[in-house]
Amino acid sequence: MRQQHLTAASAAHPQPPQHSEPAPPSKRLAVFVSGGGSNFRAIHAAVQQGAIAGTVAVVVSNAPGCGGCDYARQHGIPVLTYPAPKDDPSAGLGDDELLQQLTEEFSVELVVLAGYLKLIPSSLVRAFKRRILNIHPALLPAFGGKGYYGGKVHRAVVASGVRFSGPTIHFVDEEYDTGPILAQAIVPVYPTDRPEQLAARVLKEEHRLYPLCVAAMCDDRVTWREDGVPIMWTAH
Ligand code: GRF
């Protein structure tokens, strides 16, 4: 059976992984949200349609009243608050408790950051090496790093005069937006664009691309080049 990697074509594909063994069992996901949660909804919809061999076992948020958390509760998905609010440490989890809940209570195998605005603690990054994904609404490594979030990203992109933008899905390390890139998609930036128009164009691609990446991770269709670059393979 023939597989291709999902990024732009190159003349010589590396040898694809062989998948003669049975499909891996459904993976347990934790989705982290801080806002409306439209990417979370797109991923959850793909789970429900059977396009992702996974289960959203738990949602984690610093803002338990956000739209993403409301959606989780409506669908019977438990919500954890992390980090705890500064003025009420008992209202949320600490770093160790978060890690313990994810690993022991919810048996999480893959962490999916979907518009989560806080930094992930090092203990979690270490425990989930190559198993935490994030989405950024621009083509990294440009327009990323601390302070580049939400509308700020799109304003900077429009102001720069670049002609293309689009979402980046990347693995998470201990800095903002610097981990290995798994996938990107391209949308045009028009010289007449307002940042909101660009944001809507990029968001549409986010909702298409992120579920594909999560599906690939759940199917074990991501391999690693020796130099640390991940390769995502098409389903067969
Ligand atoms: C998205 O644009 C995502 O790229 C960024 O935050 C936004 C979250 O949107 N990280 P939503 O909460 O998924 O609707």
pLDDT in tens, 1-36: 445 665 543 333 455 556 566 666 799 999 999 999
Q: Which residues pair with 32 in a beta bridge?
A: 60, 113
Residue 139 and residue 166 in contact, taking contact as beta carbons nearer than 8 Å:
yes
Q: How far is the CA of 32 from the centre of ligand 1 (A)?
A: 11
- Residue closest via CA to ligand 1's atom 1 equals 115
Q: Among 135, 140, 196, which residue has the most ligand 1 atoms within 8 Å of its CB, making it the best to mutate?
A: 135
Residues known to be catalytic:
136
Whole-number percent of the chain with pLDDT over 90: 81
For residue 174, name the pLDDT band (cuts at 50, 70, 90): confident
Ligand 1 near 211 CB (within 6 A): no
What local confidence, expressed as pLDDT, does residue 25 receive?
Answer: 77
Both tokens assigned to 82: 């992390």
For residue 194, name the pLDDT band (cuts at 50, 70, 90): very high
Q: Quick one: average pLDDT of 129-158?
A: 95
> Which residues lie below 8 Å from residue 141, measured CB to CB, with a gap of 6+?
177, 178
Q: Among 165, 203, 214, which residue has the most ligand 1 atoms within 8 Å of its CB, making it the best to mutate?
A: 203
Q: How far is the CA of 235 from the centre of ligand 1 (A)?
A: 26
- Residue closest via CA to ligand 1's atom 12 equals 37
Ligand 1 near 43 CB (within 6 A): no
> Which tens digit of pLDDT belongs to each residue from 33-63?
999 999 999 999 999 999 999 999 999 999 9
Tell how strand 54-61 and strand 110-113 pair up.
unpaired
Instruction: Tell me the average pLDDT of the chain.
Output: 92
What local confidence, expressed as pLDDT, does residue 158 receive?
Answer: 98
> Which tens digit of pLDDT belongs to each residue from 67-85?
999 999 999 999 999 999 8
Q: How far is the CA of 197 from the centre of ligand 1 (A)?
A: 15
